[in-house]
Amino acid sequence: MTIGFCRFVLIHFLTFVGCSLVWAESAPKRNDRPNIIVIFTDDQTHGAIGYNHPIVKTPHLDALAASGMTFQRAYVASPICAASRASMMTGLFPQQHGVVALKHTAFSPYCVGAESATQTLPNRLKKAGYLTAFYGKSHLGDPKAYGFDIGDRPRGHNDVKLFEQASAFIKSRKDHDQPFFLWLAPRQPHVPLLPRQKWLDLYPPGSIQLTKNFRVQPTDESLNNQGTPGQKRYLDSNYRNNVGRLPAGPPRDEKTMLAFMKAYYAVVSHLDDQIGEFTALLRETGLMENTVVFFLSDNGYHLGSHGLGNKITMHEESVRVPMFAYGAGIAPGKTTRALVSALDVYPTVLELAGAPKPPESAMGKSLLPLLKNPRVPHRDTVFCEIVGPDGELGQGHRMARSDRWKLILSDLDEEFLFDQQNDPFELNNRAADPELAPVLNKLRGKLSQWMKEIGDRPYPPAMKEEVQ
């Protein structure tokens, strides 16, 4: 071997080592930012989970909630599918983003190519370096059009395909450094309810009781209207299982409603089992160590309360949902009674991801201080709005909910004041009580100011002087 050849080999060896060291120094290190998962169910009212209602069999969800923080008083921006989902993706109320009722086509300004598209949650997370994925019910069109890198909407009301895809995604991320944002939107427990017998068997005869505010049909009051102003329309969808079909609207006798509730809870139990398997996979892959999970629903559901089915009112059953968060950095066994809006998820996720702050128009408030201390002040009032499926901007019901009191402004500009402390089933309207005039006027002022902020119509002129 010649000296020249040895020198050639040595030079190339040193060059290889040098290049290897440079690559090692410049290679991306494992990201210390958390993966973020949102599980967003469909039509799950706040009482349809075991930790709120012991009759409901959800052992996995109960355990997950106990491993983190439970938000006992969480309210949606709007209790109807498309409007609520658009609010979750933008951090705005329906009057701001334009998707009222089921008008999903109004979401086009937040899709690819539009100026407002940068505001959607997945787009902002993509800019922060996250891989974004969506599986489930969108109700706003193709998820990839409004910012998700991966987006699929598998068919089937039992969500089997959804969880297969989500599980495959989790397995694919096991050895990757890039943090991910995963939005899971199961269709359950939305109708049609199609539970297998094994889930129905969890609820034997006599185990389910009707709520204290059950009625065969609703009272003739404007706050119960689920259509456009003045319609007095009561909505329901048919469901199928081995006990038959639910009539399209009231009246409904106790037997019919009990059969529906059984099927509804059975579907929730099936969903609980699927979520249990999915979260077990997170632990098995080791991803749970650096993942934060949020669980909530797009809106609630009337199970015969006030004589109603479906949602689309300002009643608690319609606007209040189960919600909890657990995972990396969240202490277990915490519960907060702070008033929380579903819109608060938007800024919370961005802050966790180290993304730029939300635009000034966004209406949510980060939950991170609450996650550290469940007693820290958060909101003194939470708001909500809704218009029936055929409604337009400026129509419908509005709500301002304080620690104790809830003011509902109905679609016919009638006021309803409920004492949430002593009348949680909202049976007694106290708006006309003279001694509560200060409470009513304070909430009127709050609601009026909020309506201005979101670009809504003015507070009813007849009440204008009292509001001012």
At residue 241, the pLDDT reads 44
Please tell me whether residue 133 adopts helix, strand or coil conformation: strand
What are the residue boundaries of the structural domains of the chain, listed by start? 35-379
CA dist list (Å): 170 to 163, 167, 301, 304, 327: 10, 5, 31, 39, 16
At residue 358, the pLDDT reads 86
DSSP annotation string for 61-127? HHHHHHTSEEEEEEE-S-SSHHHHHHHHHHS--HHHH---TT-GGGGGGGSTTSGGGGGSHHHHHHH
Q: Tell me, yes or no, if the pTM score tops 0.85.
A: yes
At residue 249, the pLDDT reads 75
At residue 247, the pLDDT reads 61
CA dist list (Å): 311 to 7, 67, 70, 288: 81, 30, 23, 34
Largest CA distance in the chain: 108
Rounded to an integer, what distance in angstroms lies between the CA atom of residue 84 and that of residue 56?
A: 25
- Three-class DSSP labels, 98-117: CCCCCCHHHHHHHCCCCHHH
Note down pLDDT in tens along the chain; length 468 residues. 444 434 433 334 333 333 333 222 222 334 689 999 999 999 999 999 999 999 999 999 999 999 999 999 999 999 999 999 999 999 999 999 999 999 999 999 999 888 899 999 999 999 999 999 999 999 999 999 999 999 999 888 899 999 999 999 999 998 888 999 999 999 999 998 999 999 999 999 999 999 999 999 999 999 999 999 989 889 886 544 444 456 667 888 999 999 999 999 999 999 999 999 999 999 999 999 999 999 999 999 999 999 999 999 999 999 999 999 999 999 999 999 999 999 999 999 999 999 988 888 899 999 999 999 999 999 999 999 999 999 999 999 999 999 999 999 999 999 999 999 999 999 999 999 999 999 999 999 999 999 999 999 999 876 655 555
Q: Domain 35-379: which topology?
A: Alkaline Phosphatase, subunit A (3.40.720)
For 153-199, the pLDDT digits (tens) are 988 889 999 999 999 999 999 888 899 999 999 999 999 899 999 99
At residue 164, the pLDDT reads 97
Nearest of 378, 350, 331, 363 to residue 73 by alpha carbon: 378
